[in-house]
Amino acid sequence: MRVCEALTAMLTIALSKGRIFDETLPLLAAAGIAPIEDPETSRKLIIGSNRSDVRFIIVRASDVPTYVQHGAADLGVAGKDVLLEHGGEGLYQPVDLGIGRCRMVVAAKASFDYGGALKRGARLSVATKYVMTAREHFAAKGMHVDLIKLYGSMELAPLVGLADAIVDLVSSGNTLKANDLVAVEDIMPISARLIVNPASLKLKRDTVQPVLDAIARSAPGTVDARSPVRAPNSA
């Protein structure tokens, strides 16, 4: 097989390191797929699998949708938080995998009267890396906020006076508690989704479809009826 033909036949799965990768492994195992190296210890960004026609690319969590959207990867796993910020254009999202569960919340210092500020119609400063989601949330509530884009250590912002509140993901809540912060409002539950490049669904149907079906059967989440797992028939 020529090199170009081999690459066309290859199924590429985009994943990020960490919790989602670890929780995705059992779902991939159900499809008979396993990485041959641990991305936490390997410095490689392209990792082979136990199947000659499947490989993994290891990217930042926020970049997974972009690689899938533009066809550099056929499949990927990304959190709903990442997909909302990306916008989801050019992606099928057929399965809520039910992994990586957490909550997106508004949090503030325990001493801050968030409810009172809302009643007064005060203009709040809010630090977050989820700017689009936060903007939509507060706009829907008719609140006026100044959003401050940060990339990490959100809990620090209220402590040093950078912001009145933050929008961030919370799992156990221990980090908030350790920094004297409390969740003052839930925005939405978050979990990881399987995302698929639409062209790959058509052009690599024989390879992609069995993987999708196996993951969908094994995932503790749900299939989204608006974005069917079955690949559309080619014209």
pLDDT in tens, 175-184: 999 999 999 9
Element at 210 (helix H, strand E)? helix 205-218
84-105 confidence digits (pLDDT tens): 999 988 899 999 999 999 999 9
- Residue 228 predicted with pLDDT over 50: no
Measured CA to CA, the distance from residue 122 to residue 144 in angstroms comes to 7
Q: What is the mean pLDDT of the chain?
A: 90
Chain Cα centroid distance, residue 136:
18
Domains located in the chain, CATH noted: 3-100+191-223 (3.40.190.10), 102-189 (3.40.190.10)
Q: Which conformational region is residue 121 in: left (phi greater than 0), alpha (psi within -120 to 50 degrees), or beta? A: left
Measured CA to CA, the distance from residue 16 to residue 66 in angstroms comes to 13
* pLDDT, position 234: 37
Q: Which of 135, 3, 50, 45 is nearest to 148 (CA)?
A: 135
142-172 confidence digits (pLDDT tens): 999 999 999 999 999 999 999 999 999 999 9
126-143 confidence digits (pLDDT tens): 999 999 999 999 999 999
Dihedral angle, C-alpha 228, 231, 234, 235, nearest 10 °: 0
Measured CA to CA, the distance from residue 190 to residue 209 in angstroms comes to 26
Measured CA to CA, the distance from residue 150 to residue 142 in angstroms comes to 23
Q: Reduce the DSSP state of residue 167 to 3 states and report it.
A: strand
Measured CA to CA, the distance from residue 133 to residue 167 in angstroms comes to 9
Measured CA to CA, the distance from residue 212 to residue 229 in angstroms comes to 7
* pLDDT, position 218: 87
Name the CA radius of gyration of the chain, rounded. 20
**What's the pTM value of the predicted model, to 2 decimals?**
0.86
Q: Which conformational region is residue 153 in: left (phi greater than 0), alpha (psi within -120 to 50 degrees), or beta? A: left
130 vs 225, which has greater pLDDT? 130
Measured CA to CA, the distance from residue 27 to residue 212 in angstroms comes to 10
Beta-bridge partners for 169: 104
